């Protein structure tokens, strides 16, 4: 027997996705304050979160970074000025004030018991590869790099990875509850690469820069 096709089905309905069980609870995100992230302005710096433990970082009450192990994530285009951050480790919260520069980077360092901020020296390696991730309007994702849950990606909160180094790195884009894998593949990074990946549900990422660096699986 041949069943009639539903004329209202779209390409997205037929796009295969992977669904996986996950032991972690879904991540709850709040609506971001638009003034915190000012992409494209001259008065915005970068906050680089470096953690040695599993942690969740919130900026003005909004979750911006969540890791399940040690990792480094950069938040570009943060409005210059003083911002309140909350860091959650082992179920306990601790607050810290971070002064974001008009240009450049400020570092938020999270240890098992320590929490501090400083301005790192300029990176002597000007050819280090840089990968930026952006989400399609209205969508949000959980990002895994080299098998580790690295960050939360929201349309209003782009991410930047400038610490990966040349070589091959695994990248996976999941739903915010980590149950659906929207895309996975590898990034073959070379010195001087500046890549931008725009991710969306139901399709492969759009790659700007050296497009052949991205190899979907």
pLDDT tens-digit readout, 8-35? 444 444 443 333 333 333 333 333 333 4
pLDDT tens for 135-159 read 988 899 999 999 887 788 888 888 8
pLDDT tens for 52-94 read 888 999 998 888 888 888 888 889 889 999 999 999 998 899 9
Domains in the chain, CATH or no CATH each: 35-118 (2.60.40.10), 130-216 (2.60.40)
Give the predicted TM-score (pTM) of the model: 0.57
Q: Give me the pLDDT at residue 155, please.
A: 83
Contacts of 162 by beta carbon, 8 Å cutoff, 6+ apart: 74, 123, 128, 129, 130, 131
Give the span between the Cα atoms of 193 and 213, in whole angstroms.
9
Q: If you search the block for the tokens 């909004």, which residue do you land on?
A: 62
Terminal-to-terminal C-alpha distance of the chain:
35
Radius of gyration of the chain (CA): 18
Nearest residue to 83 via CA among 40, 140, 38, 135: 38
Token pair, residue 90, equals: 């082992």
């Amino acid at each position: 027997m041949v069943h009639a096709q539903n004329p209202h089905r779209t390409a997205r309905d037929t796009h295969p996705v992977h669904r996986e069980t996950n032991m972690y609870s879904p991540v709850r995100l709040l609506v971001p304050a638009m003034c915190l992230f000012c992409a494209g302005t001259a008065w915005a710096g970068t906050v680089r979160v470096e953690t040695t433990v599993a942690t969740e970082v919130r900026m003005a009450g909004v979750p911006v970074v969540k890791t399940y192990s040690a990792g480094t994530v950069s938040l570009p285009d943060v409005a210059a000025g003083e911002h309140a951050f909350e860091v959650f480790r082992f179920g306990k919260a601790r607050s810290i004030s971070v002064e974001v520069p008009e240009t450049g980077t400020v570092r938020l360092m999270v240890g098992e018991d320590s929490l501090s901020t400083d301005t790192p020296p300029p990176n002597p390696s000007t050819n280090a590869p840089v990968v930026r991730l952006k989400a399609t309007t209205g969508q949000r994702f959980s990002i895994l790099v080299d098998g580790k849950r690295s960050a939360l990606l929201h349309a209003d909160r782009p991410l930047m990875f400038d610490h990966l180094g040349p070589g091959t790195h695994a990248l996976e884009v999941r739903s915010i509850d980590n149950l659906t894998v929207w895309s996975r593949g590898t990034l073959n990074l070379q010195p001087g690469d500046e890549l931008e990946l725009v991710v969306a549900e139901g399709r492969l990422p759009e790659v700007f820069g050296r497009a052949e660096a991205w190899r979907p699986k």
